[in-house]
Amino acid sequence: MFTAGFDNQRYLDEQSKMILERIRKFDNKLYLEFGGKILFDLHAARILPGFDPNAKMRLLQELQKHAHVDVILTIFAGDIERKKMRADFGITYDVDAQKQIDDFAEWGISIGSVVITRYEDQPAANLFRNKLERRGIRVYTHRKTKGYPNDVDMIVSDEGYGANPHIETTAPLVIVTGPGPNSGKLATCLSQLYHDHKNNIRSGYAKFETFPIWNIPLKHPVNIAYEAATAEIRDYNCIDHFHLDAYNIPSINYNRDMEVFPVVRRILQKITGSNEVYKSPTDMGVNCAGKGIINDQIVREASKQEIIRRYFRYSCEYVMGLVDKEAVDRVTSLLKELGIELEDRPVVKPAREAAIECEKNGKGNEGIFCGAAIELTDGTIITGKNSELMHASSALVLNALKHLAQIPDKIHLLPPIITASICHLKKVILRGKKVNLDLEETLIALSISAISNPIASEAMEKIKELRGCEVHMTHMPTPGDEAGLRKLGVNLTSEPEFASKSLFIN
């Protein structure tokens, strides 16, 4: 049974109020750097039960009632070139940028400009630029800032920020966002400030990031979950000593902001010609997420579960060669720091037991015995195993749907004629090596069966009840399983074991 630990409406009310107050401090022109994800912030939704994953977009809609909003999207040219992935959607950053443009439009907010940062004429960046410009989207390129980070006189000059083209904006609030960290959001904001002040426009800068939450303890599981989520880029939380020195009030920030703050402060002083700028990284922020927490215990437990998820994710990415061992070791140390065991995740042990049972029965496929488990919203645990006919995830979902629709286990949802036809297509006609059904194929087969089978139709209607459920697998999902599970909207973890002995799966 779901119990909220976070009041989303209270958060939105407090957050919009603070941002509007900050706009008024700068003659109604504020560049607001949006950290994290504006849309589909699934990390925040998982560790703050009750948080709307699209809360930031709802915030923008609320702000638009009081002040027009412009949006600039930044993307690092190097991330385009090396095809960096957004793991939760399984798409590259450049594709995610295009998706964001479409998603914003659906919410009635237009991304007016895209900036390719640290641009060095990379072929992939040029292709991305051409694609957007030919769709009528304004694209700017910013090269690496001369003198950064030590030579402030060079940075704040026509050869530094002045070398960047000025991005046209008309709104009092300009949101600067990007598909991930290190996308060039800060540099874009400061470059805009430089051009504005040259034109006698007294604009300002602020930063909006949900995590870490500045006014809860350093070692609170919510803040530690942020460290787990950013283990790959080596972020860690710390006391904002600038804030402590200035106000004698402890607050939490993270290493990158602390390291860059002295440089940012000198740049802001140089641009504005005033020493009356922010005294700490916390001062720069406008985050009110802490005010939305209404049940600390629920939030703590949800955050601990997220740290376990991150451990499994990094472990799988390590064996796939996507991250180094240090990322796995970092999350391992966080688990130990909080006294968390992997089997504290309720679906881990049942999935492992299902794999053991599968092996005892000798009903795996290709000598691989996979188990899977799902925790339904009422706390019920359902398991599934792989076989010559189905992948473990396919069996799991069908078993879960039967339970939800109160269909006896002995009743088959997929008629043998349909499964046999799919296997014939895969093995004989397409000459594939794998004939057992992955989850995507199973869902298609279920939809076909539902045309003539009322029981299958009843089961298919229960699919939406799987969204948000917890799933664990003893082996990493194949592409078809991963795509199917992502569409179902479950929170998936898996052991760092391959589901096949083959290096190439077709």
Residue 500 has pLDDT above 80, yes or no: no
Q: Do 101 and 32 share a structural domain?
A: yes
Q: What pLDDT is attached to residue 425?
A: 81
Is the residue at 506 inside a domain?
Answer: no
Residues 442 and 352 in one domain: yes
Structure tokens at 213: 């939450």
Q: Give yes or no: residues 278 and 361 share one domain.
A: no
Q: Which of 292, 310, 328 marks a domain boundary?
A: 292
At 502, is the pLDDT very low, low, confident or very high (cuts 50, 70, 90)? low
Where does the pLDDT of residue 87 fall: very low under 50, low under 70, confident under 90, or very high at 90 and above?
A: low
Residue 174 neighbours by CB under 8 Å, 6+ apart: 29, 30, 31, 32, 69, 70, 71, 72, 192
Q: What percent of the chain has pLDDT over 90?
A: 78
119, part of any domain: yes
For residue 219, being part of any structural domain is answered with yes
- List, for residues 384-406, the tens digit of each pLDDT value: 999 888 999 999 999 999 999 99
Structure letter (DSSP) for residue 68: -
| Same domain membership, residue 90 and residue 217 | yes
Mean local confidence (pLDDT), 314-330: 94
Whether residue 325 lies inside any domain: the answer is no
Phi, psi of 211 (to 5 degrees): -125, 150
> What's the chain's average pLDDT?
92
Within a domain: residue 393? yes
What pLDDT digit, counting tens, does each position of 399-440 carry? 999 999 999 988 989 988 888 888 878 877 877 767 788 999
Tell me the average pLDDT across 1-12: 90
Across 115-132, average pLDDT: 96
Measured CA to CA, the distance from residue 176 to residue 36 in angstroms comes to 11
- For the chain, the domain total comes to 2
Lowest mean pLDDT among 7-21, 290-304, 350-364, 401-415: 350-364
Q: Is residue 337 part of a domain?
A: no
Q: What is the mean pLDDT of residues 162-191?
A: 93
Domain that holds residue 450: 346-494
pLDDT of 371 above 80: yes
222 in the same domain as 75: yes
In a domain, 130, yes or no: yes
pLDDT in tens, 230-281: 999 899 999 999 999 999 999 999 999 999 999 999 999 999 988 888 999 9
- Out of 265, 292, 319, pick the residue that ends a domain: 292
Predicted pLDDT of residue 181 = 81
Q: Are residues 23 and 136 in the same domain?
A: yes
Q: How confident is the model at residue 180 (pLDDT cuts 50, 70, 90)?
A: confident
Whether the per-residue pLDDT at 505 is higher than 60: the answer is no
Least confident among 34-43, 68-77, 260-269? 34-43
Together in a domain, 285 and 377? no
Helices of type H across 134-287: 152-155, 185-198, 221-229, 241-247, 255-272, 281-284
Quick check: pTM over 0.85? yes
CATH number for the domain spanning 26: value is: 3.10.630.10
By C-alpha distance, which of 142, 151, 121 is closest to 187?
142
Residue holding tokens 């083209």?
165
Please indicate, yes or no, if residue 322 is contained in any of the structural domains: no
**Residue in the structure block whose two tokens are 């881990």:** 348
| The predicted structure's pLDDT at residue 182 | 85
Q: What is the CA radius of gyration of the chain?
A: 25
- pLDDT value of position 151: 94
> Who wins on pLDDT, 506 or 369?
369
Section 31-35 average pLDDT: 93
CATH for 431: 3.40.140.40
What does the pLDDT read at residue 243? Answer: 97
Is pLDDT larger for residue 365 or for residue 19?
19
Looking at the structure, do residues 284 and 404 belong to the same domain, yes or no?
no
Whether 189 and 264 have beta carbons less than 8 Å apart is answered as no
148/260 same-domain check: yes
| Interatomic CA distance for residues 224 and 333, integer angstroms | 11
The model's confidence at residue 363, banded by pLDDT at 50, 70 and 90, is: low
146 has a pLDDT exceeding 70: yes
Q: Is the pLDDT of residue 142 over 70?
A: yes
| pLDDT at residue 504 in the model | 54
Measured between alpha carbons, how far is 205 from 163 in angstroms, rounded to an integer? 20
Low-confidence winner among 5-9, 38-42, 172-176, 351-355 (lowest mean pLDDT): 38-42
Check whether 460 has a pLDDT greater than 70.
yes
Q: How confident is the model at residue 88 (pLDDT cuts 50, 70, 90)?
A: low
pLDDT at 388: 85
How far is it, in rounded angstroms, from Cα 46 to Cα 468? 9
User: Do 94 and 235 have their domain in common?
Assistant: yes
> Which of 295, 272, 71 is CA-nearest to residue 168?
71
State how far the Cα of 451 lies from the Cα of 205, in Å rounded to an integer. Answer: 57
Is the same domain home to 127 and 221?
yes
The answer to whether 402 touches 448, Cβ cutoff 8 Å, is no
Q: Which residue has the higher pLDDT, 75 or 179?
A: 75
Q: What is the pLDDT of residue 1?
A: 64
Q: 271 and 122: one domain? A: yes
Burial class (CB in 10 A: 0-12, 13-18, 19+), 260: middle
pLDDT of 31 above 60: yes
